[in-house]
Amino acid sequence: MVFRIVLFISFLSSLIGCKSKSNRQIDSKLPNSFSTFYERFHTDSVYQMNHIAFPLSGTPGSLDTVDSENFHWEQSDWQLHRPIEIQEFKKHYTILDTTSITEYIYHPGGYGLERRFAQMSGEWFLIYYGGMSKLK
């Protein structure tokens, strides 16, 4: 059990802190405006903070011991998201419409996270973040 916790924490740290190749393409079915936003969101910390709808709806990671029913991510506690460049992780996008996209990032070992993005007033924002947890 302790090994799993250490592995999970290491995994989460590497996920958030990974560096990327700046010219990496994301899913070609996504709107161009989203692809441009996504690249900048992960490489420009000021831009990222200005494009998150705080207090951000979501859920904590599975190791967090907080009340997940009343949980919101706060700007003061936010850890910047960096591009994920770990081969073992997979990404899947659900395009709800031209202004709403859900991203799932998961590991075949059974852990994953969810992020939801929406376009409001012509700009994309992160509107939901479900922290790394065991997939159901």
Confirm if 44 and 51 have CB atoms less than 8 A apart.
Answer: no
Rg of the chain on CA atoms, in Å: 15
Residue 25: the pLDDT is 45
Kindly indicate the confidence band of residue 100, based on its pLDDT and cuts at 50, 70 and 90: very high
Kindly indicate the confidence band of residue 41, based on its pLDDT and cuts at 50, 70 and 90: very high
Residue 86: the pLDDT is 79
Interval 108-133: pLDDT, tens: 889 999 999 999 999 999 999 999 98
Q: How many domains does the chain have?
A: 1
Global pTM value: 0.77
Interval 5-20: pLDDT, tens: 333 333 444 444 443 3
At 126, is the secondary structure helix, strand, or coil? strand
Interval 56-97: pLDDT, tens: 999 988 766 566 678 899 999 999 999 877 788 999 999 998
Residue 24: the pLDDT is 41
Residue 22: the pLDDT is 34
CA 117 – CA 136 distance, rounded (Å): 22
- The secondary element (H helix, E strand) that includes residue 9 is helix 2-17
- What residues contact 90, with CB distance under 8 A and at least 6 apart? 105, 106, 107, 108
CA 58 – CA 78 distance, rounded (Å): 12
Query: CATH number, domain at 99?
Result: 3.10.450.410
CA 9 – CA 127 distance, rounded (Å): 24
Residue 135: the pLDDT is 82
CA 121 – CA 104 distance, rounded (Å): 24
Place of tokens 């409001």: 120
- The domain in which residue 41 lies consists of 2-19+27-64+71-134
Place of tokens 């994309």: 124
